[in-house]
A and B are shown apart, each in its own frame.
Chain A
Amino acid sequence: MVAPLWACGADALSPRMQYTATSFAEPLQRVFDDILRPDTDVEVTHFAESQYLVEKVTYRTLMADPVEQRFYTPVVHAVTTWAQWVRGAHTGSVHLYLAYGAAGLLIVLLVAR
């Protein structure tokens, strides 16, 4: 037998009432608040008549990944800078490569002497 879901007596459940990924993870996010540092904005607009009557609530939360921001980004940035510098050393000029070879040979001879 198929029966409707329990909705606390109020019928017509809609998909908008479901738990989303954000709401599912919210308790754990709250536990690790100090590390994750979510950026949450709650704006409450009141009616002009009384501040106890709420007209609209806007909730916005933004979470940046702290590992990405504080670990990956600096490392990637450093590697990219270094790679750019190395790139300048091989521009496709055969003369330059021959000079590198000659300089290398010279250094090896000097060290091995």
Chain B
Amino acid sequence: MSALAVVAAALQVVCVLAGAPLVVGGMRQVRARLEGRAGGGFGQPWRDLRKQMRKQQITPLGTTVVFALAPAVLAGSTLLIAAIVPLIALGSPLESAADLFGVVGLLFLGTVALTLAGLDTGTAFGGMGSSREITIAALVEPTILLAVFALSVPGESANLAAIVSATAHNPGQLVSPGSLLAFVALAIVIIAETGRLPVDNPSTHLELTMIHEAMILEYAGPKLAMVEWASGMRLTVLLALVANLFMPWGIAGADPSLLAILLGLAAISLKVALLAGFLAAGEVFIAKLRLFRVPELLAGSFLLALLAVTASYFLGTPTS
């Protein structure tokens, strides 16, 4: 492990921190333009965050430490994911911890922290949001684990760097049925997990239709800024992770040079921008699903993940 690998890992965290609001802003801008509006511009989420950060800290009546700590847990777990997954370079110093199952666990740590915060407020909306979020999370988790399992079959490892480098060395396996099915399953799951359309509408203002927003209804000022920032980072990290799992080109190797790191940064920025653009453009054409139709969508993605596992076992190309 070289010093530059450490630099690359640190750069990943900084770029996710700085880039997440831009990704969210970009998605809103794409959507606004496609709907014929002017939009607030790419920098609007950053301006919102600055405004929120300067506001007064407010503690809702009757909330406890669970409520106060949840934004920090969410942001911390997301930053940890950003530090360990291979986004810019493969040889991160925390690489041995970058197990896909571990990443899924960290993801759910943040979800559960917010869910408990929603319950902690004691309001009907908080409980409603938490209940819905945990229902979706409970349905999403088996799908993620199965899709991950399907992806780890060709590389014979659940370590992210191993999967990415196996795919980079053998791009042919990307068009295998197992890989394609796992991609679709993971895409649906990530849409559900980050609360995008058609599972949840991130821009809704009606409490009864909210999922994610209902849980964080009581947050204001700096804490709200932290939750929104963390949600943006989650979206960014997951998009980047999918980009690298299925399009591993441009990522710097285990012992990178400075040029390779810069190239890796440019590649991942481009990939995330492309995926976010597609996601935002797709959202223009769909409406939110009814809450009790969502399980059907998730059951479909679970089925795809199951087929992906089966396909990668029986149709997998021998990799030795």
Flag the segment in A15-23, A60-68, A86-94, A103-111 that touches B.
A15-23
Chain B: how many interface residues by the 8 Å CB criterion? 29
The answer, yes or no, to whether A82 is at the interface (CB within 8 Å) is no
The answer, yes or no, to whether B310 is at the interface (CB within 8 Å) is no
Q: Is the CB of A1 within 8 A of B56?
A: yes
Q: Is the CB of B62 within 8 A of A19?
A: no
Q: Is the CB of A19 within 8 A of B131?
A: yes
Q: Is the CB of A18 within 8 A of B122?
A: yes
Closest Cβ of chain B: how far from A75's Cβ, in Å? 27
Contact string against B for A residues 1-33, beta-carbon threshold 8 Å, 1 for contact and 0 otherwise: 111111110000101011100011111101100
The answer, yes or no, to whether B127 is at the interface (CB within 8 Å) is yes
Q: Is the CB of A19 within 8 A of B119?
A: yes
B interface, over-half SS: helix
Q: Give the size range of A's interface with the partner.
A: 20 to 34
Q: Is the CB of B130 within 8 A of A5?
A: no
Chain A to chain B contacts (Cβ below 8 Å), 7 pairs: A3-B59, A5-B61, A5-B123, A6-B60, A17-B123, A25-B131, A30-B292
| Contact pick for B138, options A2, A18, A28, CB 8 Å | A28
Closest Cβ of chain A: how far from B57's Cβ, in Å? 7
What B residues does A26 contact at CB under 8 A?
131
Known contacts A19-B127, A19-B130, A24-B130, A4 near B56 by CB under 8 Å: no
Q: Is the CB of A23 within 8 A of B131?
A: yes
Closest Cβ of chain B: how far from A58's Cβ, in Å? 21
Lowest 6 A-B CB distances belong to which pairs?
A: A19-B127, A27-B135, A31-B295, A24-B131, A28-B135, A3-B58
Q: Is the CB of A5 within 8 A of B295?
A: no
Query: How long is the Cα–Cα vector from A6 to B124 in the complex, in angstroms?
Result: 10
The answer, yes or no, to whether B125 is at the interface (CB within 8 Å) is yes
A24: nearest residue on chain B (CB-CB)? B131
The answer, yes or no, to whether B139 is at the interface (CB within 8 Å) is yes
